[in-house]
Chains A and B, each alone.
Chain A
Amino acid sequence: MTNRTLSYLWTLLFLAMAVILSIAIGAVFIPPADLWRILTGSLSGTTLSEPLKTFAFIIVSIRLPRTVLILLTGAALSGSGAAYQGLFRNPLADPYLIGVASGAGLGAVLAMSVQWPYTFWGLMAVPAASFVGALLTVFLVYALARVGKAVPTTNLILAGVAFSSFATALTSFFMLRSTGELRRAISWLLGGASQAGWGPVLTILPYLAIGLGILLLSGHTLNLLQFGDDQAQQMGLDVTRRRALILIAASLATAAAVSFSGIIGFVGLIVPHVMRLWFGADYRRLVPLSIISGAGALLVADVIARSALSPQELPLGIVTALVGAPFFLWVLRRAKNQGFW
């Protein structure tokens, strides 16, 4: 078996185990054997016994939507993290670097400072605002960084970092001033899929499919960009246009993820790095592997967030940082002197 097949096999196995764990663990533990019985039972149409029926209800209406939402969020953050790192040729790049996430946060907090009616559209206002905030940020930062027709990478990062600080300050300001759903805003900002049901999943799915779909097809472009703008262009790549396409796709995915799950750091930074260390720097493989493993990693973090201090639930962003950072440092120590960047 080739290395390539093996790398996909490992990451898919990891994701499958994370999904099972995420469905099984919670306020009520559902043994994997029962999971299997429910799955085969529902597929073959046989009636389930009474306790299994309860489990099935919990799974379909609570666990599964949350699992899918977290899975998509992890996939989006990690996939766009890999893309941003390739795009900017910067190991520190992640969805936060160019201000996309902060812009989304600002949009969301602005929306939360208004008292929305408790209806479907009221619930939708916050994610919609964060989505708009993220996309406006991309265009603003891109316009600020532009010199003539070109958009130098350094300018983009500087404009992103500057705007990010500005947006974060504004966010803090509005949170201090706001009287309404402050608690909700704080818990959202720390990261946590507080909204249940299939609504959020269905809302972000189209954006994610487009965003991640484009990223999955952009491996070759990202490979060429590793040589720098000049060389990529001399090898025949239309750098400005292709880079804008990847930037928008990655931001679309990020905004979709941030809009429901809040600010979850580290996944977009760490997962692509670990994938690069283990499986190499070819973006045609790095992007899909990051998407798969990012989904798995965030699911594991979510399981820890739900069960570590049960029944209290920890914000997901805290878990990813507390668990992710030491794990990353451990991987980095073991791989030192490889010069993978």
Chain B
Amino acid sequence: MLKLEALTVSYGPRHVLNDISLEVNSGEVLALIGPNGAGKSTLVRAVSGVIPIQNGRVSSGDADLLAQTTMQRARSLAVVPQAVSIPPAFTVWETVLMGRTPYLNFLGQVSAKDEEITRLALTRVDALDLAERRVGELSGGEQQRVLLARALAQSTPILLLDEPTSNLDLHYQVSFMETVSSLAHRDNLAVLVALHDLNLAARYSDRVALLVDGRIKAAGTPRQVLTPELISSVYHLPVQVIPHPFADVPLVLPGKGPPRA
């Protein structure tokens, strides 16, 4: 599981993240939602140790993740970035195999076990048939799956995803989030996913945290967080929330509702 306690990050005098406390349990998907500039990506970068934090603690069990070496941390926590600007010339196999880095020596020599784990990771995201292709030839949805497989090859109990669906079409959004959900529920990973799309968050997460101006404004089940009052005030837009037609989750629709006659 992943635990954030009183996390504060600032660029100069400005607090970008302010006193963030969150818990993501194993076997659970936590969706991080919020308007642009709320600090979702900053949170992913801070938790993965890429940018320094001013205050707080990020832990997994007893281990203080930010006190660990880069390599140790990469064995606990893997990040799936957006599939923009990834090197096009490597093959899918080479790319996913690089996920094994935290277990490799200076030279990056791989063992049969590393190759087996790479094969399993590719199978898990249904991309084994792409193995010999160059990443640059793939569609956005395929590239995103490759990056997920690379994170899985790191064999970590914690998975962070930074708006993985924003460049995908409807079909890939749904199938990608279904894979992510099953990674938490079947493989027992602790998954934190930053999402733009409120309805994807409602449909595929167990809990939702709403980040506004660097603070957690609300956290809880999708039904608790995705209320018309809260979402309207945060996004400065009137919204309606109705029951999903076939799933037991809320559905957020922008607009004031039907005009009254």
Measured CB to CB, the residues of A under 8 A from B are 148-149, 217, 219-221, 223-224, 226-231, 233-239, 276, 280-282, 284, 339-341
B108 lies within 8 A of A220 (CB): yes
- Give Cα A217 to B108, complex, Å: 9
Interchain Cβ contacts under 8 Å between A and B, 30 examples: A217-B107, A220-B101, A220-B104, A220-B107, A220-B108, A223-B90, A223-B98, A223-B108, A224-B101, A226-B87, A227-B86, A227-B87, A230-B45, A231-B79, A231-B81, A233-B48, A233-B70, A234-B48, A234-B81, A235-B154, A236-B70, A236-B101, A237-B101, A239-B70, A276-B89, A280-B89, A281-B87, A281-B89, A281-B90, A339-B89
Say yes or no: is B141 at the interface (Cβ < 8 Å to chain A). Answer: no
Are B85 and A228 touching (Cβ within 8 A)?
A: yes
Closest to B73 in A: A236
Instruction: Determine chain B's interface SS by DSSP, over half rule.
Output: loop
A281–B95 Cα distance when bound, in Å, is 12
Q: Report yes or no: B108 in contact with A235, Cβ–Cβ below 8 A.
A: no
Beta-carbon contacts under 8 Å, B57-98 to A = 69-71, 73-75, 78-79, 81, 85-90, 94, 98
Say whether A236 contacts B107, CB under 8 Å: no
Residues of B within 8 A of A (CB): 45, 48-50, 52, 69-71, 73-75, 78-79, 81, 85-90, 94, 98-99, 101-102, 104, 106-108, 136, 150, 154
* Most B-side CB within 10 Å, residue of A235, A238, A339, A340: A235
Question: Given A231-B81, A236-B75, is A339 in contact with B108 using a C-beta cutoff of 8 Å?
Answer: no
Cβ-defined partner of B74 (8 Å) among A219, A236, A281: A236
A219 to B52 alpha-carbon distance, docked (Å): 28
Residues of A within 8 A of B52 (CB): 148-149
For chain A, what secondary structure do more than half of its interface residues adopt (helix, strand, loop), or is it mixed? Answer: loop
CA distance A219 to B104 in the complex (A): 13
* Chain A residues whose C-beta falls within 8 Å of the C-beta of B78 in the assembled complex: 234
- Check A339–B136 contact: CB distance below 8 A: yes
CA of A112 to CA of B81 in the docked complex: distance in angstroms?
52
Closest 6 CB pairs of A and B: A220-B108, A236-B74, A281-B89, A236-B102, A226-B87, A234-B79
Could you say which of B48, B49, B71, B108 contacts A284, with CB atoms under 8 Å apart?
B108
**8 additional contacts, CB 8 Å, given A148-B52, A238-B71, A284-B108?**
A217-B106, A224-B101, A226-B90, A230-B45, A233-B49, A236-B71, A339-B89, A339-B136
Q: In the bound complex, how far is the Cα of B161 from the Cα of A234, in angstroms?
A: 12
Q: Give the complex CA separation of A281 and B87 in angstroms.
A: 9
Beta-carbon contact of A234 and B74 below 8 Å: yes
Chain B hits for A221, CB < 8 A: 106, 108
